[in-house]
A and B are shown apart, each in its own frame.
Chain A
Amino acid sequence: MPAMPLDGVRVLDFTWVVAGPVATRILADHGAEVVKVERKEPPQLGNRKLGLQCDLNRGKLSVALNMQHPRGVELARRLAAKSDVVIDNFSARVMRSWGMDYESLAAVKPDIICISMSGLGHTGPRSSYVSYGPTLQALTGYTMLMAEPDGTPAGYGYSYADTCGGYTGALAALIAIWNRHRTGRGQFVDLAQFEAVASVIGPALLDISVNGRTQPAPGYNSQEGPAAPHGVYKCRPLDGDDDRWVAIAVSTGPEWRRFVTAIGSPSWASDPKFRTLYLRMRNSGDLDANVSRWAAEHSAEDAMAILQRAGIAAGVVENGIDLCARDPQLKERGFWPAVSTAKGTTTNVTGIPFKLSGGSGRVRSIAPEVGENFDYVLGELLGLGRAERDELVAAGAVWP
């Protein structure tokens, strides 16, 4: 096996739900040894060996420590002393209550890097607020501005705040490790997922602070310069499924001319009201009605192929089956790698969206059951003999 960038890095992982596990999965996929510290019966989040929970926890190890027991906490502190990075996504008080906050851990491991991915941050009047990805999206404007044309909130279907928070957390860990290679110093990172997800509506926030403008729900108006047609258009049903759409983005004059040729130069397209980009945007209702009539005659796949051949940005609005089973590009690039299960079968997981010429990351194993790596973590990492381990189990400090 070729070396990976984070070989030799150990991460003690107290995170749960989505954002934290996304961060540590990225580290695990690139060689870090990620040890999840969990409760014996964590809240039911689903099957660990398949689907989302496997995606989030693959390639990690798990040990079940009782953090309500002083000896469980002591084991966690000893693990931290053997780790490079400690990550949690609790609110501020939790790690402190265990004596696992940065100051306490730096006393035993001076170059430790601690990353706390709380919802609203460690300081401020609302640091104790309880939050999840969907509630942070509500607080930051995403939920309100992903709306139906009449303004009714309509979103949304996934937890961007969690994935953004997760990426920010992974990036923070890598930057801190790089800096530690040069300075020998660790540090504490107070990552508020609220602030991480707020920071990526930047241009809208500047428009508010600089121009004083209230932000409308953008709908299908392009958020990257004027474009028309720009939106989703309903296509011919596929095998009885009539929820088929193609997304189309046409901006410049040359693009418009290529678009018109590609769809067969219909007479409506030469109407003077569509002559310039400005006019196409002003008359976008009529324009969209015409484009919709064209799209309705084609399958989403054909519409995409016709337009892409003409150099127009267009794509099938892929559902889960398109994405995971039909998309020829993702298939060709091996984006859904198979990993073996304990039963000798395989399951597929989400891949890594980038390849490194010197050795890409890889999904090393499916997710562990809670406490699956008891022997390795307590025996090999902490050097505890069988009798000691049994005694800790009997004392209720750790679950086998």
Chain B
Amino acid sequence: MTEPSPGALAGLRVLDLTGHRAQFCARLLADMGADVIKVEPPAGDDARRIGPFLDDLPHLDRSLFFWFYNLNKRSLTLDLNHSRGADILLQLARSADVIVESYAPGTLDRLGLGWDTLHRENPALVLCSIAPFGQTGPWRDFIADDTVLTALGGMLYINGFPNHAPVRPLGLQAYHSSAYYGAIAVMLALLARDRTAEGQWIDLSMQEATAAAVEHVAGAFFERGEAEPRRGTLHWSRFFRVGKCRDGYIMHCTLGDWTSLIEWVKSDGKAADLDAPDYQQVMYRYLMAEHLFDVLDDWVKDYPRDELLERAQLLRQPYATVRPPEALFDDDQLAERGYFVEVEHPELGRKFRYPGAPYLFNGTPWRVSRRPPLIGEHTGEILRDELSMAPQALAALFAEGVI
């Protein structure tokens, strides 16, 4: 790896106290240059116990789940249930800009690390609390995993076919939506701090973040009083549906130039009634979506998937192939843009390809500055450099199981 640039958030210190549900939040900040210290219990963060594992061998330092969410962070093990541990955290909080935490509401108070204490010790500190249902309300103490959050956020109900069970979204979308909102909220609080010099406490509800990530369900209710149904692969806008080609699936789209699409379908002798002038109107295509896609399905069924995509895009039709995620590794667009990045794991003597930047900043680029930390890898250096702890003090904390 070449020497990384300092990053847009250079100079920002973040203490990441989250477990596996919210750790993507501080990762987003670490990628842009913040110094993120992951504070783990001495037994290791719960994410380290979640697979998949490198070569399928479960081990605290081999969780790919942990790796993805903790790239670019440092690791400090600290037992916050021990009074010395909580005291050390308070000392670190004095020089930190941000703490992100996802404990059950009330836990930080019980540890003597509640907002009032943190704010008194460091008035400029931003505390971001990410909890399944937020810090208030009748469900504040309820628990949830990502599946339960997608249920309670209205995301699960609308996936799948009518009269079948709802289908689970892929990839922890409730957690990710919450993490994005968490990072956004932290940046907003930091920008406010530039003016006021005061930190703030962020109360983020993962249920609300999930509900906010489903763009149209609330609109349908407040506009028409309706509960959006499951529609199979027909997108709620009625302009997209999955079709089956000779060798796989494609995503139809009827928002491109209609004339050129229909000329093509007609030249294949498959247009049926779609060349009727009514279909020129977007609203008519909206109303006739089911029939229209049935005709288009009959048209594409003998096409090879990739050929259909290339020809569609030449006509600027927003078609796409329905691909497995493995296809991303052979994608020429991602390759040309250098999307996947090699990250060296020197302790294993190996390099691995990680998914890369979600955005390319031309001045202060997204970058990999360090591989995900081994458990407690930076405990010694952080306590020595930040808190000037003597070797004997470190040894005593270690012996007592605090670090």
Among A124, A214, A251: residue with most chain B CB under 10 A = A124
CB closest chain-B residue, reference A336:
B218
B278 within 8 A of A: no
Please state if B28 and A350 are interface contacts (CB–CB under 8 Å). Answer: no
Residue-wise, chain A 140-181 has the 8 Å CB interface mask toward B (1 for contact) of: 111111111000011111111011100110111011111101
Report whether over half of chain A's contact residues are helix, strand or loop; otherwise say mixed.
Answer: mixed
A146 to chain B, nearest CB (A): 5
CB-based contact B356/A135 at 8 Å: no
Given A158-B158, A218-B168, residue A324 in contact with residue B215 (CB < 8 A): no
Q: Which residues of A contact B50 (CB under 8 A)?
A: 224-225
Q: Can you sample 30 A-B contacts with CB below 8 Å?
A: A26-B184, A51-B220, A121-B337, A123-B337, A125-B332, A125-B336, A141-B326, A142-B171, A153-B242, A154-B159, A154-B233, A164-B176, A171-B184, A175-B8, A189-B362, A202-B355, A203-B65, A205-B325, A214-B326, A225-B50, A232-B166, A245-B165, A247-B147, A247-B150, A249-B144, A317-B166, A323-B218, A330-B208, A354-B205, A355-B134
Q: Which B residues are in CB contact (< 8 Å) with A200? A: 24, 171-173, 176
User: In the docked arrangement, what's the CA distance between A328 and B223, Å?
Assistant: 21
Q: Give 15 new A-B contacts, CB below 8 A, not counting A167-B184, A320-B228.
A: A136-B320, A167-B177, A175-B8, A178-B190, A185-B363, A189-B362, A209-B340, A210-B352, A224-B172, A246-B151, A315-B149, A323-B154, A355-B202, A357-B201, A358-B200
A354 touches B182 (CB 8 A): yes
> How far does the alpha carbon of A126 sit from the alpha carbon of B320 in the complex, in Å?
12
Binds B, one of A75-83, A306-314, A379-387: A306-314
The CA of A245 and the CA of B232, in the complex, are separated in Å by 18
A264 CB–B CB distance under 8 Å: no
Q: Which residue from A127, A146, A348, A356 sits with its C-beta under 8 Å from B202?
A: A356
Is B42 positioned at the interface, with any CB of A under 8 Å from its CB? no
Contact with B along A344-362 (1 / 0, CB 8 A): 0001111111111111010
A51 to chain B, nearest CB (A): 3
- CB of B43 closer than 8 Å to a CB of A: no
Most buried by B among A51, A148, A317: A317
- Residue of B whose beta carbon sits closest to that of A163: B213
Question: Is A340 an interface residue, CB under 8 A from the partner?
Answer: no
Contacts A131-B320, A172-B359, A174-B187 given; does A335 touch B208 at CB 8 Å: yes
Which B residues lie within 8 Å of A22 (CB)? 215
- Encode contact with B along A191-232: 1 for CB under 8 Å, 0 otherwise: 110111011111111111111011101111011110100111
Q: Please give, as numbers and ranges, the residues of chain A lying within 8 Å of B170 by CB-CB distance.
A: 141-142, 145-146, 201, 204, 217-218, 223
Please determine whether B52 and A211 come into contact, CB atoms closer than 8 angstroms: yes
Q: Binary interface profile of B, 328-354, with partner A (CB < 8 Å = 1, else 0)?
A: 110011101101100000000000111
